[in-house]
Amino acid sequence: MKTLLTIFLMALTTTISAQQQRVGKNSEQKSKPLIYLTPNVYTAVVIGNDTVACMYLSDFIKYSPIRHQTAHEVVQYHKLVRDVKKTLPYAKEIAHIIIETYEYMETLPNHKAKQKHLEKMEKHLKDVYTPKMKKLTRSQGQLLIKLVDRETNSSSYHIVQSFMGTLKAFTYNMFAGLFGNSLKQRYNPYGEDRMVERVAVLVEQGAI
């Protein structure tokens, strides 16, 4: 778990840097929110004598019931629900931090000021998330890395490679491989992570 924690914090910090660099190349490009938002009231219209609120609602996805074949599948499903409920909020927090950080860094005057802010952010992330990450099991840590990919749409390997170079990315990936992990793994909601995506969506909708 300590290995996953090291990789996770490293990937998170470099994600912030990579996002900031991407924005710097195209200052006119607006950031897209990576978190699911609850319905927000924007305006209202008057129809006859009634005032009708106008709001945007997030998509609602309806899944067909699951038919488990064995008792083992039931246990595994409930374990997955438990793990997603525990790790998904962290993944969304990270996505939110990334957005806030690179938007703030656009206001900084120079590269030195941006690097100083990144160093403070790295220390803050370690102080806040290290105690939380230590409480996760190995499987929950692996799931968290996948869910961070889900929220940021970037693999840990790509993040490290784009910011620290191919050699560093290769080294970190080899290190992760010693513990049965891979930074090149992508979140695949239509393949091997289909059940994770289903559970994540249901959790977001408050259905489970």
> CA-to-CA distance for 91 and 86, rounded, in angstroms?
10
Average pLDDT over residues 116-134: 78
Whether the pLDDT of residue 41 is over 60: the answer is no
Q: Calculate what percentage of the chain has a pLDDT beyond 70.
A: 73
Average pLDDT over residues 137-150: 85
Instruction: Return phi, psi of residue 53, to 5°.
Output: -75, 140
Both structure tokens of 72: 């083992």
Question: Under the phi-then-psi rule, with left for phi > 0, alpha for psi from -120 to 50, and beta for the rest, what region is 133?
Answer: alpha
Sequence-ordered alpha helix ranges (H) in the chain: 2-25, 71-105, 111-134, 138-152, 156-164, 166-177, 194-204
183 within 8 A of 37, measured Cβ to Cβ: no
Whether the pLDDT of residue 75 is over 50: the answer is yes
pLDDT score, position 160? 64
Whether the pLDDT of residue 117 is over 60: the answer is yes
> CA-to-CA distance for 181 and 165, rounded, in angstroms?
20
199 within 8 A of 81, measured Cβ to Cβ: yes
Give 51 or 29, the one with higher predicted confidence: 51
For 33-57, give the DSSP string: P-S----EEEEEEEETTEEEEEEE-
Give 46 or 194, the one with higher predicted confidence: 194
Q: 0.75 exceeded by the pTM?
A: no
pLDDT score, position 159? 62
pLDDT score, position 201? 95
pLDDT score, position 129? 78
Write the pLDDT tens digit of every residue in 144-193. Answer: 888 888 988 877 777 666 555 688 778 877 877 776 677 788 899 999 99
